[in-house]
Amino acid sequence: MKIAFYSTKPYDRIWFEPLGKEYGFDIQFIEYPFNKETVYLSRGSDAVCIFVNDYVDRELMDMLYEMKIQALLLRSAGFNHVDISAAKDKLHVLRVPSYSPEAVAEFAAALLLTVNRHTHKAYTRTRDFNMSIHGLMGRDLYGKVAGVVGTGKIGQAMVHILKGFGMRVLAYDPYTSDGVDAEYVALEELLERSNIISLHCPLTKETKHMINKKTIAKMQDSVYIINTSRGALIQTEDLIEGLVSKKIGGVGLDVYEEEEGIFYEDCSDEIMKDTVLARLTTFPNVVITSHMGFFTREAMQAIAIETLENAYAVENKLPLVNEVLP
Ligand code: NAD
């Protein structure tokens, strides 16, 4: 099988190159993102492999179909960037549903601890031998109320971690799971009672901008909001308003609504055109990372194995257990 592998970074090759050889796949590593300008680079391939910021709409799906691409391999769990209905009866779309939920939950906890204890600021201060701790006061997490939105694999791992901090954990999920060590409540109650809110639900029509002016108004004063899920869960301008009014006490973002073309790239020599993102970076109580919650050795290895297993299943007409269907 020949696979056109888009948005390749050096850290992808470490895992995919040797494993691809073991499977006998011919992988063409392409550094460009997948879009209308680059889609033709996959001509002659059997499958196309993309990452979270490679968007595939109906037009691109039809182009892939015309080029006889059989499968679209997602190196991610989320699939909001792909028009799944457009693939029906044309291409198989396969994802990696679970690679290391703990990796993302641990990262969400890292963001929470950073926002709360200002370790990002302490680090830069001590490097300048500024040993003042003025302005770096945090709060005990122990005994506070955490709200976890979405108790799938990552949300459940997060519940576990938050419980370890000695927090009371509330959860909201329209599909509750058994054995989750949290108190399921309605979303409104979670918003009203939680001192920290961590988002772990997928981006859908229902969840888009679920954190907005109205929902922020319901929250506790000085609430912390952590988002490692998808940027568009949050209406960013409303978040900024909440920060300016000090209703929100701190924010940790691993994802951002307009991250495509910015995250994963070195833009340090450029003028940042995204003024909303630029504004966000000015807040001392906002920590932004570049969609890297998944980025552990274990998760990268698992993504490589599962992605190529998906390709192998397509090639050998085996059951497609990770197929995403409309
Ligand atoms: P999952 O499918 O196991 O769990 C998602 C949960 O969200 C499910 O329990 C589902 O019932 C629930 N849900 C659906 N609609 C909801 C709603 N309206 N309100 C509340 N909950 C709702 O997925 P997961 O593996 O736990 O991943 C969660 C999200 O994390 C993914 O959708 C993805 O966007 C994101 N993610 C981010 C990274 C990263 O690197 N930052 C890595 C992997 C996944």
Rounded CA-CA distance 320/248 in Å is: 44
pLDDT above 90 covers a percentage of the chain that reads 98
The protein residue whose alpha carbon is closest to atom 4 in ligand 1 is 152
In tens, the pLDDT along 209-234 reads 999 999 999 999 999 999 999 999 99
Same domain, 230 and 305: no
Same domain, 192 and 167: yes
Q: In ligand 1, which atom is closest to the CA atom of 152?
A: 4
In a domain, 322, yes or no: no
Measured CA distances, 163 to 56, 157, 194, 277, 308 (Å): 39, 10, 14, 32, 36
CA 171 – ligand 1 centroid, Å:
13
The protein residue whose alpha carbon is closest to atom 23 in ligand 1 is 152
Same domain, 149 and 75: no
Rounded CA-CA distance 298/284 in Å is: 32
Same domain, 6 and 62: yes
For a mutational test of ligand 1's pocket, the pick from 154, 159, 172, 292, i.e. the residue with the most ligand atoms closer than 8 A to its C-beta, is: 154
pLDDT at 302 > cutoff 90: yes
Rounded CA-CA distance 148/289 in Å is: 20
In a domain, 71, yes or no: yes
In a domain, 325, yes or no: no
CA 41 – ligand 1 centroid, Å:
32
Same domain, 235 and 267: yes
CA 136 – ligand 1 centroid, Å:
32
Domain, as residue range, for 279: 101-288
Q: Of the candidates 104, 120, 112, 105, which has an alpha carbon nearest to the alpha carbon of residue 141? A: 112
For a mutational test of ligand 1's pocket, the pick from 84, 96, 104, i.e. the residue with the most ligand atoms closer than 8 A to its C-beta, is: 104
Position 75 scores a pLDDT of: 97
CATH number of the domain at 209, please: 3.40.50.720
CA 246 – ligand 1 centroid, Å:
28
In a domain, 323, yes or no: no
Measured CA distances, 317 to 21, 43, 313, 314, 323 (Å): 20, 22, 6, 5, 13
pLDDT confidence tier of residue 263, bands split at 50, 70 and 90: very high
In tens, the pLDDT along 127-158 reads 999 999 999 999 999 999 999 999 999 999 99
pLDDT confidence tier of residue 47, bands split at 50, 70 and 90: very high
- The predicted model gives 290-311 an average pLDDT of 97
Single-letter amino acid code for the residue at 131:
M
In tens, the pLDDT along 83-107 reads 999 999 999 999 999 889 999 999 9
In a domain, 32, yes or no: yes
CB of 254 within 8 A of CB of 293?
A: yes
Same domain, 44 and 160: no
Same domain, 164 and 271: yes
Same domain, 281 and 164: yes
CB of 45 within 8 A of CB of 2?
A: yes
Length of the chain: 326
In a domain, 105, yes or no: yes
Identify the residue whose tokens are 């989320």.
78
CA 68 – ligand 1 centroid, Å:
32
- The predicted model gives 31-60 an average pLDDT of 97
Q: Which residues are catalytic?
A: 230, 259, 291
In a domain, 151, yes or no: yes
Q: In ligand 1, which atom is closest to the CA atom of 98?
A: 25
CA 26 – ligand 1 centroid, Å:
32
The protein residue whose alpha carbon is closest to atom 14 in ligand 1 is 201
pLDDT confidence tier of residue 326, bands split at 50, 70 and 90: confident
Position 98 scores a pLDDT of: 86
The protein residue whose alpha carbon is closest to atom 32 in ligand 1 is 202
Give the three-class secondary structure for 189. Answer: helix
Same domain, 9 and 140: no
Same domain, 41 and 121: no
Number of independent structural domains in the chain: 2
Same domain, 167 and 302: no
Same domain, 131 and 247: yes
Q: Report the chain's mean pLDDT, rounded to a whole number.
A: 97
Rounded CA-CA distance 287/257 in Å is: 15
Position 72 scores a pLDDT of: 98
In a domain, 273, yes or no: yes
pLDDT confidence tier of residue 62, bands split at 50, 70 and 90: very high
Q: Of the candidates 150, 137, 223, which has an alpha carbon nearest to the alpha carbon of residue 182? A: 150
Which amino acids bring their CB within 6 angstroms of ligand 1? 77-78, 101, 104, 149-155, 172-175, 200-202, 206-207, 228-230, 254-255, 291, 293-294
Rounded CA-CA distance 48/316 in Å is: 17
For a mutational test of ligand 1's pocket, the pick from 81, 189, 201, i.e. the residue with the most ligand atoms closer than 8 A to its C-beta, is: 201
Position 325 scores a pLDDT of: 95
pLDDT confidence tier of residue 122, bands split at 50, 70 and 90: very high
CB of 302 within 8 A of CB of 104?
A: no
Cα-Cα-Cα-Cα torsion 120, 124, 126, 128, nearest 10 degrees, comes to -170
Pairing, β 145-149 against β 196-199: parallel
Helices 297-315, 10-23: inter-axial angle, 10-degree rounding: 40
